[in-house]
Amino acid sequence: MKVTFLPSGKQIEVKAGVTLLQASRLAGISIPTRCGGKAGCMMCKVEVPGGEGCHLSKPGRAERNKLGAWVDQGTRLACQATVQGSVTVQVPEDKLKAAIRKQLERQAEEDNLW
Ligand code: FES
């Protein structure tokens, strides 16, 4: 099964039952954690675009308790959600990386104008 991580677009093949957090590490994607993958810190939140969520395990009690209504809007804990089919997930960028990427995109646009 293929897991695609956005915004980088990195992909990794994994077996069913691997958590998104494990898959991210195999792919070299950094998802922060503080609780060691025990549904305690919520630092590993990822977004799963509409329809893709059915390719992940159903949220368990611990994940539902942590995420509340967010879980129904496509937010999952990478340490809890396991891969059940090919899936694409959006990993939040840290603020500094997002600012640098936006600046580089602006510069590239300006360069294309000249
Ligand atoms: S790693 Fe802490 S909630 Fe997932």
- In this prediction the pTM is 0.85
Output the pLDDT for position 81.
97
Q: How much is the pLDDT for 52?
A: 82
Residue of 22, 25, 30, 43 with the most ligand 1 atoms within 8 Å of its CB, for mutation: 43
Q: For position 31, what pLDDT does the model report?
A: 94
Which residues of the chain form beta strands (DSSP E)? Answer: 2-6, 10-13, 45-47, 75-77, 87-90
CA of 32 to the centre of ligand 1 (A): 8
Q: What pLDDT was estimated at residue 84?
A: 97
C-alpha to C-alpha distance for 56 and 16, rounded to whole angstroms: 9
Of the pLDDT bands very low, low, confident and very high (cuts 50, 70, 90), residue 94 is confident
Confidence of residue 100 (pLDDT cuts 50, 70, 90): confident
